[in-house]
Chain A
């Protein structure tokens, strides 16, 4: 109880400290923690635990390696619209080595990496961005005279956690596309053991941040699927949560860019949207912190399946996706609802003829029955007038 009270004490010193340190109001900070907790699908109360963990300011040392990539993953983290995001990244973690961001250069930079690894042995987080070329002993990517293979193996040896960020590090990404001249491979393939992967080109920064903060808060990485992807972000197909899904189910498709359907916001499946075979949370959390519907499909471009090995950078962009769960029906219900027709001449005539025939038949039968009854009655009266005859048995 004491701990809980401490967490919900909004006047606590650490919270005021974090306010100063991150240069953001308490309200925004707590909102950020809640967003992360919700992104990870954590239960109520987790946001408080996350806030506590970040306030504690035992920032984990992070070593960030770059190999065959475009630095888009780092860019997406830094160039986000959210004003204090880069602050958070830099203040929540202690980024001790990052080739793009660090001021140091040359041997100085490499020395910083080695120092950080020594000082935080077994406690630092290794983040790998980019694929690793393995062809010809990995000579196609070298930093400070060391091949990418050597570097990643060296840094991974004493890391507390390894996170592969972006599709390149996760499964090879664009560099691994056929014919793959450099033999671009994923971190897991090079290390020969599973690592946490945050695929995407670039991945959503919140998926990465949430993973890091999960580690920070609970001292372990979040639950992952068989490809090492955190389940909170990659357990659903894009198609399942897509805001255009209703159009798919109703059979309303954009057939080409700029046509009527496209302008109406219809489903992009027939333009080659890979949502039906791509696992990611893009439709639920959006992209780039720019508000609702700001993600590829939301902007009118079909999903290219960037998170999915064998889909992104492999299948042609306008090739129709393979449906992994629901198959589209061959026929769709009609959109215009028929409200019924009045009587046609044929049906009215048939009904009238039928009624006429029935009435006529009934009338004839009644007449005959009446006549035979009259005859019988006459017979009976005649019989009754003969007194000697016995009655019937």
Chain B
């Protein structure tokens, strides 16, 4: 890849039992209990989903948003391996780790949202394939991508276990997995947008557009960079480490470029379809539309200049804004501005919320354990030498 010298990754070390991991553990235990209840007593025992809103937050947040937030790994791979920007290499492993957990848990979340979950294997069984289904494309891509990502990330474990020969052998074929690791998420992130298209006129016209696959893909990429900004800042302050500002600064610029294109596409689409008027009505749909797009526009104000991008507080806020924008885009399309007809309503139940919180807790716990025990984050002393 790049001949440039980077900081070698190393385990952070330290105690695994602390306030954060304890709280995460408790939340995961609560989630596990609720999931057991759901698996044995049915969806109605724990969730508020109904025939009008068959997808609640377990799908929209855990899968759609969870997988979009997990695009960090794919975005870094895109930057480092496709655009050959080797200097970003230290960011790849931590980003990949976040993606790994995001996707694996998104995949798991689908299983317990299935009404007849014991039939989940049907989608992997060739006799049951429905190759014309968007859902099939998403399921197949996400599953393959989860496997590919574990392979991409496996050097971390191989290094830790001292299996250097295996690692060398794996390195020879790694380019295949890296390529797949970029193609697969592009495919299914776009398909997640197609899911909205096939929902038809239940989706508000502000979000119902044939351009949705492109919109989902572009926001998934910007979200990936936003998450890296967020995660780098949180990891640095949690572990009291130096923030990789020299890397984040130019990366944030790339993100702004893509986001500019996205905002252009979004408003061009809304305008040309002649539904922009809906955004100027006095209702909650218009409000949430503007909040969503304000979140995407905010980073231009926060980190528009190179000088501003040197301030980690601004990078952090910009990361949050981008994430919120992406989250709202998906929530708006599938839940907030989704209208099945008169009489139908949906608001997540407490158990539903606790499961979603538990999923994120599992991601945090996994991140803490792996970064403390396995070589993921750049070695601190090497970083100081920069």
Which A positions have Cβ atoms within 8 angstroms of B? Answer: 337-344, 346-348, 350-351, 354, 362, 365-370, 372-373, 392-393
Q: Which of B127-135, B206-214, B342-350 lines the interface with chain A?
A: B342-350
Q: A344 to chain B: which residues have CB within 8 Å?
A: 347, 349-350
What are the residues of chain B within 8 A of A340 when measuring CB–CB?
A: 48-50, 52-53, 344-347
**B349–A373 contact, CB under 8 A?**
no
> Contact: A337 with B311, CB < 8 Å?
no
A196–B348 Cα gap in the complex (Å)?
Answer: 65
**Segment at the interface with A among B155-163, B185-193, B313-321:** B313-321
A-B contact pairs, 11 of them (CB 8 A): A337-B51, A339-B344, A339-B345, A342-B347, A347-B348, A350-B350, A350-B354, A367-B313, A370-B313, A373-B311, A393-B385
Question: How far does the alpha carbon of A344 sit from the alpha carbon of B243 in the complex, in Å?
Answer: 41
Could you tell me which residues of chain B, from 304 to 358, have a CB within 8 Å of some CB in chain A? 310-313, 316-317, 320, 343-350, 352-354, 357
Q: Which of A347, A351, A367, A392 has the most CB of B within 10 A?
A: A347
Task: Across the interface, name the chain A residue whose C-beta is closest to B317.
Answer: A366
Interface size on B, residues (CB 8 A): 32
Give the complex CA separation of A348 and B48 in angstroms.
Answer: 13
The verdict on B45 contacting chain A, using a C-beta distance below 8 Å, is no
B377 at the interface (CB under 8 A from A): no
Which residue in A338, A347, A392 is a CB contact (below 8 Å) of B347?
A347
A372 to B344, CA, bound (A): 50
Complex Cα gap A341–B345 (Å) = 6
Please count the residue pairs between chain A and chain B whose beta carbons lie under 8 angstroms apart in the complex.
75
CB proximity of A80 to chain B, nearest CB, Å:
49
A369-B347 in contact (CB<8A): no
Known A-B contacts: A339-B343, A366-B316. Give 8 more (CB < 8 A). Answer: A338-B44, A339-B50, A339-B344, A354-B357, A366-B313, A367-B313, A370-B312, A370-B313
Contacts of B51 in A (CB 8 A): 337-339
* Chain A residues, Cβ within 8 Å of B52: 339-340
- Which of A365, A366, A372, A392 has most chain B Cβ within 10 Å? A365
Contact call A370/B350, Cβ cutoff below 8 A: no
> In whole angstroms, what is the CA distance A262 to B168 when docked?
77
B171 lies within 8 A of chain A by Cβ? no
Nearest CB of chain B from residue A332's CB, rounded to whole Å: 14
Q: Which residues of B contact A350 (CB under 8 A)?
A: 350, 353-354
A339 to B345, CA, bound (A): 6
Is residue B237 contacting chain A, with contact meaning CB distance below 8 A? yes
Q: Flag whether B184 is at the interface (Cβ < 8 A).
A: no
Is B345 a contact partner of A365 (Cβ separation < 8 A)? no
- Give Cα A392 to B385, complex, Å: 9
Residue in A closest to B56 when the chains form the complex, CB atoms: A340
Task: Give Cα A372–Cα B349 distance, bound, in whole angstroms.
Answer: 40
A373 in contact with B346 given A347-B353, A365-B237, A368-B237 (CB within 8 Å): no
CB distance from A380 to the nearest CB of B (A): 10
Nearest Cβ distance between residue B348 and chain A, in whole angstroms? Answer: 6
Which B residue's beta carbon lies closest to that of A370? B313
For B16, list chain A residues within 8 Å (CB).
none
* Cross-chain contact A365 with B348 (CB below 8 angstroms): no
A338-B50 in contact given A343-B347, A365-B316, A373-B312 (Cβ < 8 Å): yes
B346 — which chain A residues lie within 8 A by C-beta? 340
Complex-state Cα separation, A343 to B237, whole angstroms: 36
Assembly CA distance A75 to B385 (angstroms): 110
CA distance A346 to B348 in the complex (A): 10
Instruction: Kindly state whether residue B233 has any CB partner on chain A within 8 Å.
Output: yes
Q: Is the CB of B313 within 8 A of A369?
A: yes
- Which residues of A are found within 8 Å of B344, using beta-carbon distances? 339-340
* 9 nearest CB pairs, A to B: A370-B313, A369-B313, A343-B347, A340-B345, A369-B312, A340-B50, A346-B350, A347-B350, A339-B343
Which residues of chain B come closer than 8 Å to A341, judged between CB atoms? Answer: 48, 345, 347, 349
Please encode chain B, from 208 to 250, with 1 for each CB lying within 8 Å of some chain A CB and 0 for all others: 0000000000000000000000000110010000010000000
Instruction: Name the distance in Å between A388's Cβ and chain B's nearest Cβ.
Output: 22
Q: Smallest distance from the beta carbon of B316 to chain A beta carbons, Å? A: 6
Whether A369 and B385, one on each chain, are in contact in the complex, defined by CB atoms closer than 8 angstroms, is no
Please tell me if the beta carbons of B353 and A365 are within 8 angstroms of each other in the complex.
Answer: no
A373–B346 Cα distance when bound, in Å, is 44
Residues of A contacting B350 in the complex (Cβ-Cβ under 8 angstroms): 344, 346-347, 350
Contacting residues, chain B, for A392 (C-beta < 8 A): 386
Give min CB distance, B62 to chain A, whole Å: 15
Residue of B nearest to A371 (CB): B313
